[in-house]
Amino acid sequence: MIEIIITAVWLMLPAYLPNSMAAVFGGGRPIDGGRTMSDGRRMLGDGKTWRGLIAGTICGMLLGLLQMYYLSKSSSIFGVDLPSFGEGMGALLVIFTLAFGSLLGDMSMSYFKRRMGYKRGAALPGVDQLDFVMGAWLLTLITSPAWFLDNFTSGIILTLLIITPLLHFVTNVIGYHIGVKNEPW
């Protein structure tokens, strides 16, 4: 039980960090450039910025590199064997798609939220907690299918679907109270 949770979180760390770091470093020019669609609403909204996207991706990748460094010294943590992101360029690609894919997933959902009339920051339970997970999985599955299917077994995926909303809730409440997030979700 603990073992599968540690393994699952380890695999997802490069995808978890970008969202928080986008909230910390985000701001400035919105990715949609302020454009509105024919429905009169913003394409993505002011909550999706270039700075958030770039800083988030870089932070997620740095954490992944740190994890790879850790793996070069030790293959386990708290007695649990850790999975690797692969070798060489393959590992870099995995770390990149986990980080960038998570923000891409979050951004795609903002597009649909705007089309459904939800304002920036409006809560959409379930979607807010899992959009970034889906984005990270999908982009990584497309670009590194063998690695993905080896590591994201059905047990790991189920574990992540359960614990991610909990982790997301805790980090967002913290983010709200330290002032980097406008809403606690």
Binding residues for ligand CTP (CB under 6 A): 22-23, 26-27, 45, 47-49, 52-53, 103, 106-107, 110, 113, 120-122, 181-182
- Cα 126 from Cα 110, distance rounded (Å): 13
**DSSP notation for 6-69:** HHHHHHHHHHHHHHHHHHHH--SSBTTTT-B-TTSSBSS-TTSBHHHHHHHHHHHHHHHHHHHH
- Nearer residue to ligand CTP within complex by CB, 14 or 26: 26
Q: Could you give the C-alpha distances from 146 to 75, 82, 132, 177, in angstroms and in order?
A: 21, 18, 21, 41
Distance in Å, CB of 8 to ligand CTP, minimum: 22
Distance in Å, CB of 75 to ligand CTP, minimum: 34
- Nearer residue to ligand CTP within complex by CB, 53 or 68: 53
- Nearer residue to ligand CTP within complex by CB, 4 or 24: 24
- Nearer residue to ligand CTP within complex by CB, 41 or 120: 120
Distance in Å, CB of 165 to ligand CTP, minimum: 14
Task: Look up residue 79 and give its two tokens.
Answer: 């007695």
Distance in Å, CB of 121 to ligand CTP, minimum: 4
- Nearer residue to ligand CTP within complex by CB, 3 or 39: 39
Q: Could you give the C-alpha distances from 53 to 57, 73, 88, 90, 159, in angstroms and in order?
A: 6, 31, 24, 22, 27
Distance in Å, CB of 130 to ligand CTP, minimum: 12
Helix (H) or strand (E) holding 80: strand 80-81
Angle 153-155-157 (CA atoms, 0-180°, nearest 5)? 70
